[in-house]
Each structure stands twice: as structure tokens, then as C-alpha cells.
Amino acid sequence: MGYERDTAESIDTRRLASGGPWEERYGYARVVRRGSLVVVSGCTAMADEGYVIGGVSVYDQARESMERVVQALDRVGAGLPDVVQTRMYVTDIERSDEVGRAHREVFGEHPPATAMVEVARLIDPRLLVEVEAMAVVATPH
């Protein structure tokens, strides 16, 4: 008994950049939607002008990072109810409550599966939090 696999040609794939400083240099998209699957690359609080939104506040950086995830989702027709997983990278796990509070405020009514992982550092030493997400939308487009 066989099954028919979808091929790359049969599934619409959208890859969108945000214009961030590392996307072209490192060759990645901010958000990719393939059929009903949406994956958002790691988002931080780095402003286009080179400063960090939220300064040294891990809560403010987390909140900004998550808002950028929401913006990326919106660009491909997805929203918070579609998010099934988030992953938060933090440089100081002792401040996890602040990051968790921001996550609860953004995703509270639609809690995804998640993980918070401490890392030695992020791509810029001023960054304290990076957030990525995966979503599945009800109808592919």
C-alpha cells in the first residue's frame, strides 16, 4: 500500500526577510511558510539602527522579541492561536521569571509548547533574549 508524497513544486513556500542585519549575511529568512507550517527564525530586540530595544532589561528585550515573532507570523497569515511551539534562548537563566512573564503576556490565551534554554551569549553581547516559533495554520495558502 503506497501513499502520494507532496513535492516541493506542489506546496507553496514563502520566505520573507525582515531586513535585519544578519539575514543576508548568513543566508536565512525571518519567516518561512510552507503550506500550513510556519517557522519564525530567532527574533531579538536589535533595532535596525543598531541599538537594543529595552536596553539592559531582559523583560523589555523579551517582550520586543516576542512582538517581532507576532509581526513575522502576521506577514504570512498566521497568528498567536496558530503557534504550537516557542523556544527562548536567554543569557542568564536566573532571570527566567522576567522572560516567562513576557511570554505569558504575549501567548497567555494561546499557550504553546515551549522551552527556555540558557546560552553563553547571543550574536551581539548586548542581547539577552532570542525567541523563535513554529506555527501550524488551519488552512494552507
User: Residue 99 falls within a domain, yes or no?
Assistant: yes
Task: Express each pLDDT in 76-110 by its tens digit.
Answer: 999 999 999 999 999 999 999 999 999 999 999 99
Non-local CB neighbours of 86 within 8 Å, separated by 6+ positions: 69, 103, 107, 112, 113, 114, 115, 131, 132, 133, 134
Indicate the helix (H) or strand (E) that contains 101. helix 96-107
User: Residue 141 falls within a domain, yes or no?
Assistant: no
User: Residue 25 falls within a domain, yes or no?
Assistant: yes
What range defines the domain where residue 32 resides? 8-136
User: Residue 130 falls within a domain, yes or no?
Assistant: yes
Contact 71, 40 (CB under 8 A): no
Total domains present in the chain: 1
Residue 8 has pLDDT above 70, yes or no: no
User: Residue 125 falls within a domain, yes or no?
Assistant: yes
Answer with the residue of higher pLDDT: 139 or 91: 91
CATH of the domain at 120: 3.30.1330.40
User: Residue 2 falls within a domain, yes or no?
Assistant: no
pTM recorded for the entire structure: 0.88
